[in-house]
Structure 1
């Protein structure tokens, strides 16, 4: 099968199971108009994140890598009215676009956009109020570091999701000098070796091409 068929199948699933609405459509337009890279999650992936958050009864969500806020909106919609989502974005211009999109979606009261390098911000978050779900979708070289922080800031029974782990198949290349591949391999190896995590990873095809994600349960 080819990319056109993968895209068509995603469109079919989206129409039936993950339909867009005005806020999501406006978010995608605003991101395109602002010149943000077209790397947000697909609609069906956003719906998956939302369902995972609902399955664990999430009241607090951590997102590492905001971009324009598209995945943020999917996740925040899973929260109760008094829930909280903290999302971290390194690029101030991207963060401005995200804040506007989140406000338009009516979610500004439950989303905090923090601007800066994630490895500088994560140590400032309060581990005494743990997160129920963490979504990691930032620079891939630091994936393992982000998993460690998500574990530190999470709770037993919580979930960690790491996006873009297949690297178009290059994740199997042990000799790669690509920092994104090396960082992703380190994260996968950490998911295997960390006794407090139970994880799997899936290959995906769709409107975003050939990719995949890892999902981990915090067991203790």
Structure 2
């Protein structure tokens, strides 16, 4: 099969970011503060281009209710919540008060505190405690990678038909054939690809973003 793709270098990436709804002043401040506060952990924050893409996706599917597993300092949650209607709701699950206190401060500054509900703790038991009914239009999975399949299985019955699951870091480590992380990522991608309950595609956005649309 003929391959068609564009390899990214810094110049291409910078151009792409500049013309793809670049971060506004508030998001730029959040990027800078995250870099300063979290140091080596700053790479956990999604890229600006991914945030813009997720904003558009949220609007495109007309989402009113959303779920985020893994919030960190709040960049992705701001992008999602901004795309919800004024009476929309985003539930964020994260077990790190150190980082979510930053997120809460920026939610307030963005005027989004009334749209976002933080549930502090491990994501899996929080989701399992939710009613098993179709209540979400969109879910973003960006928490503990080793639990992604469990998250997927718990979120799917709580997603409406036509709802969308986004899974971050889907290509992380897949170019290494030997590592445990590579094997875990490949197995997850293959299981989702084979799942007859969803239509899915994995795209090389940032370090890989899986889209799974519930049938």
TM-score of the superposition, structure 2-length normalised? 0.88
- What SS is found at the alignment partner of 2:83? coil
- What SS is found at the alignment partner of 2:196? coil
The structure, 1 or 2, with the larger RCO (C-alpha pairs under 8 Å, 6+ apart) is 1
**Aligned position for 1:26:** 29
**Aligned position for 1:94:** 99
- What SS is found at the alignment partner of 2:140? strand
Q: Of 202, 208, 211, which residue of structure 2 is paired with 1:215?
A: 211
- What SS is found at the alignment partner of 1:120? helix
After superposition, the C-alpha distances for 1:140-180 in whole angstroms (9 at most, x for unaligned) are 11111111122121110011111111124337x3x64x2x4
- What SS is found at the alignment partner of 2:19? helix
The reply to whether residue 38 of structure 1 matches residue 10 of structure 2 is no
Cα offset, 1:11, TM superposition? 2.0
Listed as ranges, the gaps of 5+ residues in structure 1 are none
Q: Of 154, 158, 164, which residue of structure 2 is paired with 1:153?
A: 158
Listed as ranges, the gaps of 5+ residues in structure 2 are 1-6
- What SS is found at the alignment partner of 1:170? coil
Structure 1 distance, partners of 2:134, 2:194, is: 26
Structure 2 distance, partners of 1:66, 1:119, is: 14
**Preserved CA contact (<8 Å) 1:76 1:110:** yes
**Preserved CA contact (<8 Å) 2:174 2:182:** no
- What SS is found at the alignment partner of 2:175? helix
RMSD of aligned C-alpha atoms? 2.0
The reply to whether residue 138 of structure 1 matches residue 143 of structure 2 is yes
**Aligned position for 2:124:** 119
Cα offset, 1:129, TM superposition? 5.4
Aligned length: 207
Structure 2 distance, partners of 1:130, 1:187, is: 24
**Preserved CA contact (<8 Å) 2:51 2:79:** yes
Q: Of 12, 16, 24, which residue of structure 2 is paired with 1:13?
A: 16
**Preserved CA contact (<8 Å) 1:144 1:183:** no
Cα offset, 1:25, TM superposition? 1.4
**Preserved CA contact (<8 Å) 1:26 1:101:** no
**Preserved CA contact (<8 Å) 1:60 1:84:** yes
TM-score of the superposition, structure 1-length normalised? 0.86
